[in-house]
Structures are given as C-alpha cells and as structure tokens.
Structure 1
Amino acid sequence: MNIPHEQQAAFTRMKAYQPFHSRFDPCRPIGLKFYSTPPNLYMGFQPPNLQQFSPRVALRKGTLWPALYDPYRNPYEGKGGR
C-alpha cells in the first residue's frame, strides 16, 4: 500500500488503497480506491445476549443486531466527482 502511515493509524471500516500505475499506462492514474469491510469481520463469534432492534426497525436496517449494522457511506460523495 502506498498510503501514508498517518492515514492508516485510526480504526475504520472504510479502507483505501492506491492501485499501481505504470508510467507506460495510457490512462491517467485512478488515485485512491475505497472499500468497506463488514462489521462481522471484527467479531470473532456472536456473543450471547446481543442488543436487538425491534422487528420493524430490523426489517428496515437489514439486520437484527445493531452491532452488525453497517450503513453504506459513499466516500466519493461531495468531492466533485469526475
């Protein structure tokens, strides 16, 4: 990864990397690419007695447990786009 250490220090579910770009590539460099890691990767097992959403809220959020809820946040939103 070519990301400075300062940007990697904080824990976040949104990760970033910079794809390799050769000087012989005909296209311009992409810059940073982002991806989201799901919360279940950081939970080794499902602990007993986890807090639960109400059935109506769980259907809206897509999961019964708040610990496993991860709303998508677009990292490119508000940056002006291409």
Structure 2
Amino acid sequence: MNDNQKDNNLQFTQVKAYSVYHGPNDPCPPIGQKYYSTPPHLYLGFQPPNLEQFPYKEALQKGTLWKVFYDFYDNPYKARG
C-alpha cells in the first residue's frame, strides 16, 4: 500500500446513529433515532508526518492546525431549511 492509498483510508463517518429500543410495555412514546459524533483522532492512530495544514489564521478559527483533525459539529436535530 503506497502513501496515496493510506491517505484515502483516512475517510470516516463523523456522525453515527442508532435506534433506541422501545419495549412493548413502555408507556413513553418511541424516541426514534439518536445521533452522536466521533472525533477524527479515533480513526488515525499515530499522527503521521507531513499532514496537510490549514493556513495559520484559519487554523485559529477552526481550533486545529491539521485538516485531518478538524471536526465540524452540525446539530442533527436542528430543522433543515
């Protein structure tokens, strides 16, 4: 596996969902799906050398220098429109 293939393997899903179990005798209405976010460093292991970096001003706004560690939070419960 060459370095380009390794970089392509860094793809992951940040937002995951699961269905909450609703029992037949549960008096509450079903919740449906719950969502949670996983941080990017879980999928990376050790930090490889020569990672692509944000420009310094943008890195201060995003909270990280390296693009692979950037984790944008989007509220899945927020109404789209």
- The alignment's TM-score, normalised by the length of structure 1, stands at 0.74
Unaligned runs of 5+ in 2: 1-11
* Aligned CA-pair RMSD: 1.8
How many angstroms apart in 2 are the aligned matches of 1:59 and 1:27?
45
Give the share of equivalent positions with the same residue, in percent: 61
TM-aligned CA distance change 1:79 to 1:24, over 3 Å: farther
CA positional deviation for 1:60: 0.6
- 1:66 aligns with 67
Question: Following superposition of structure 1 onto structure 2, how do residues 1-82 of structure 1 map, counting pairs within 5 Å?
Answer: 12-78=13-79
How many angstroms apart in 1 are the aligned matches of 2:19 and 2:80?
17
**Which whole-Å deviations, capped at 9, do the CAs of 1:53-79 have from their partners, x for residues lacking one?**
222211110111111101011212226
Identify which of structures 1 and 2 has the higher relative contact order when contacts are C-alpha pairs closer than 8 Å and 6+ apart.
2
Q: Give the SS at the match of 2:35.
A: strand
Unaligned runs of 5+ in 1: 1-10
How many angstroms apart in 1 are the aligned matches of 2:62 and 2:30?
36
Runs of 4 or more, structure 1, over 6 Å off, are: none
